[in-house]
A = this chain, B = another copy of it.
Amino acid sequence: MKDISWDAYQIFLAVARHGGLTGAAQANGLSPATVGRRVLDLEQGIGRQLFARSQTGYRLTADGQALFEQLQAMDAVVRKVDGWRQEAHGASVVRLMAGTWVTWLVCENIQAIWSERDGFRLDMSVSERRATLAHRQGDVGVRAVAPEEPHLASRHTGDVAYAAYRQRNAPDGLSSAWLAVSEEDAISPYLRFPHQQAAASIAVIVSRPRSLLDLTRAGAGQAVLPCFVGDLDPGLERAGEELKQLRHGQWIVTNNEDRHRREIRTVSERLFRLLKSHADLFAGKRPSRSL
């Protein structure tokens, strides 16, 4: 019984997961031809057929399934090792926690925040909840309330204004119906507004704020959106004045202890610059549409 080369197990797992050679080849940086050969070799070494082959891909046999399950533990070890490697490299991940719309703006302007040459990975996590950066869940946060936590450092970027938006030039009948996220998901004041002010007129309930924008653009009704989102969209117009009771400040927060970490400083500086350059837009002063 000859020893099996462990990379054969690695390739086997990839084929099993992707259900074929093409996906596995991409994941492992090999060609489909090579992956096919390696799997054949493994089957010979094991003495069992591990996959049922078809023109549309590979399916695990019972024996293949047995091996797949056994090898999960191996994969778990490698994940732990990878975590240890990352640790060994100091901090090659920066985790950014922000709400739906700031995350959207960052994505639209990603080249201003991150490039491949930076040598770290950017993880962006969307949450409407207050970014506490607790338990090191995040490194940089964007929030609507100035932090009082002593371990957090913050920088004020400006105010955020809100208004109701509807489809531009929409027929009048539909545009008065309200679009809202569900009450249980309505964490922020702007998300709660339709429930508090026009509950009987809510025509559609969605689970994500991004869906509000989509529906509004499609003419399904009106929704409360941040001005920097609504005013930037050529398919939307304001359905009324700014809703001044919803206005709030905006802060970028980091952990005091992370000040020395270059990657975190880099990201928070760049983010501050991005938000500051959009300060008027955030505050509800209408842009010229040339941005």
Nearest 6 CB-CB pairs, A to B? A6-B6, A7-B7, A6-B10, A74-B77, A5-B7, A6-B7
Q: Which residues of A contact B (CB under 8 A)?
A: 1-10, 28-29, 46-48, 63, 66-67, 70-71, 73-74, 77-78, 80-82, 84-86, 88-89, 92-93, 135-137
- Contacting residue for A70 out of B29, B63, B77, B136, CB 8 A: B77
List, in ascending order, chain B residues with CB within 8 A of A6's CB. 6-7, 9-10, 74, 78
- 8 sampled A-B residue pairs with Cβ under 8 A: A2-B135, A3-B135, A6-B6, A7-B8, A47-B85, A66-B84, A67-B81, A70-B77
B80 and A136 form a contact (CB under 8 A):
no
B74 and A70 form a contact (CB under 8 A):
no
- Contacting residue for A85 out of B1, B78, B81, CB 8 A: B1
B89 and A1 form a contact (CB under 8 A):
yes
- Contacting residue for A67 out of B47, B71, B84, CB 8 A: B84
B88 and A63 form a contact (CB under 8 A):
yes
In Å, the complex CA distance between A63 and B85 comes to: 10
In Å, the complex CA distance between A137 and B2 comes to: 7
List, in ascending order, chain B residues with CB within 8 A of A70's CB. 77, 80-81, 84
Q: Across the interface, name the chain B residue whose C-beta is closest to A74.
A: B77
In Å, the complex CA distance between A167 and B29 comes to: 67
List, in ascending order, chain B residues with CB within 8 A of A85's CB. 1, 46-47
List, in ascending order, chain B residues with CB within 8 A of A92's CB. 1
Task: Known A-B contacts: A66-B84, A71-B81, A74-B74. Give 6 more (CB < 8 A).
Answer: A1-B93, A5-B7, A6-B7, A6-B78, A46-B88, A73-B77
